[in-house]
Amino acid sequence: MRIQFYFSFIFVVALLSSCAGSKQLPLPSPLSRKEITEKPFLANSITLDNTAAINKGKTAAKKINYLLDTISIIGVGDIMIGTNFPKEEYLPSDSGKYQLAHVKEHLINADLTFGNLEGVLLNEGGEQKYCKDPSICYLFRSPEYYAQHFVDAGFDVLSTANNHAGDFGNTGRKSTMATLDKYGIEHAGQSVKPYTLFEKDGVRYGFAAFAPNTATQSITDYEAAARIIRHLDSLSDIVIVSFHGGAEGSKHEHVTRETETFYGENRGNVYKFSHWVIDHGADVVFGHGPHVTRAVEVYNNRFIAYSLGNFATYNRFNLKGVNGIAPLIKLYTTRSGEFLYGDIIPIIQEDRGIPKVDPDKRVIRRMQQLNAEDFPESKIFIDDLGKITYFGF
């Protein structure tokens, strides 16, 4: 009833505004790409001349953007649609062209689409990580032209903060960033590029990505994260944060609310980190890394997905059981990032890692269970069709 009232109220306000002459508040002048990139921002040595706006927070910085329109944002998890290492036979026979064909109609149907790029975009070479037997080492090197497949599928922004971003050393990192730039895909997560600012369809987005891995922006450096997020918040309508964190595998589906370690590595406290970045200005948080789906939460009217699982991971991933199902989450937010509602499109990977819509909706049932177990106090309701409703207004 409260939800019905909420949307009825929005409709009435919108109707009255229309009768008043359909005059919308002017948006601030958009930042040019030159203005955004001309002065590189270092998270650990930030000096800003807009301190007043940052200290006042969202209310002051975004007041002029409080419009009644709705923004749709899609988030998916790990993507690796073919690797030429250790041999070309690990690439799909169609050169990756149709790897995302079954889910494209959903990916393109949003104002903004995000995913996590596992591995590097590099045709050959690079300084590969040490391993005794390449046949059992999981290093991912996709041909550079695969970036076109991401463009064709509708991806706007990708995270490069994960444990496979450095599989082929600095050569791989540089090639990945240069290739994504060449194909017009926004990206962030490397320590040399912890964030990006861009505009699409009149909406200004800030995006930052974090991980516990070498040469990525650290998920455990909270003060640096706060500086980055405050900076983005002062310049953006919507701030999206991605993190690669938490232990991996089917035994680690739950949000523990504690620091997680895996193979002796500190993988972060994803619960604390997600709340921290929202407290400092983030609007949407997309997690990945455990290779399984985790629960979702709304905190301070902002959406958190604690792990989006394996979305499109071809040939070199364990896709048994819960590892092979994942959500494609479509969020609807206000123009300033408050969560309104969402939809879960259930995905299952078949044929060695081809994502398709799952008619049995297995991941929806799993998320219902995980949310009930991990966030019993939550005011989120996930119905059997995957509709996410929030009763915390």
Q: What is the pLDDT of residue 19?
A: 41
The pLDDT of 14-37, averaged and rounded, is 37
Q: What is the pLDDT of residue 27?
A: 35
- Whole-prediction pTM value? 0.84
Rounded Cα–Cα distance for residues 74 and 76 (Å): 7
Does the pLDDT value for residue 23 go beyond 50? no
CATH architecture of the domain 70-390 equals 4-Layer Sandwich (3.60)
Q: What is the pLDDT of residue 129?
A: 87
pLDDT band at 32 (very low <50, low <70, confident <90, very high): very low
Of residues 252 and 3, which shows the higher confidence score? Answer: 252
Q: What is the pLDDT of residue 66?
A: 41
Asked which of 12-26, 255-269, 293-307 is least confident by mean pLDDT, the reply is 12-26
> CA-based angle 122:291:271, to the nearest 5?
115
pLDDT band at 355 (very low <50, low <70, confident <90, very high): very high
Pairing of the two strands 70-80 and 120-121: unpaired
Nearest residue to 195 (alpha-carbon basis) of 182, 207, 186? 207
Can you give the three-state secondary structure of 57-94, one letter per residue? Answer: CHHHHCHHHCCCCEEEEEEEEEEECCCCCCCHHHCCCC
The pLDDT of 164-177, averaged and rounded, is 98
The pLDDT of 308-330, averaged and rounded, is 95
pLDDT 10s digits, 96-113: 999 999 999 999 999 999
pLDDT 10s digits, 325-342: 999 999 999 999 999 999
Contact 222, 228 (CB under 8 A): no
Contact 245, 268 (CB under 8 A): yes
Domain boundaries, the chain: 70-390
Asked which of 32-36, 92-96, 140-144, 149-153 is least confident by mean pLDDT, the reply is 32-36
Nearest residue to 268 (alpha-carbon basis) of 148, 182, 162, 114? 162
Rounded Cα–Cα distance for residues 3 and 119 (Å): 42
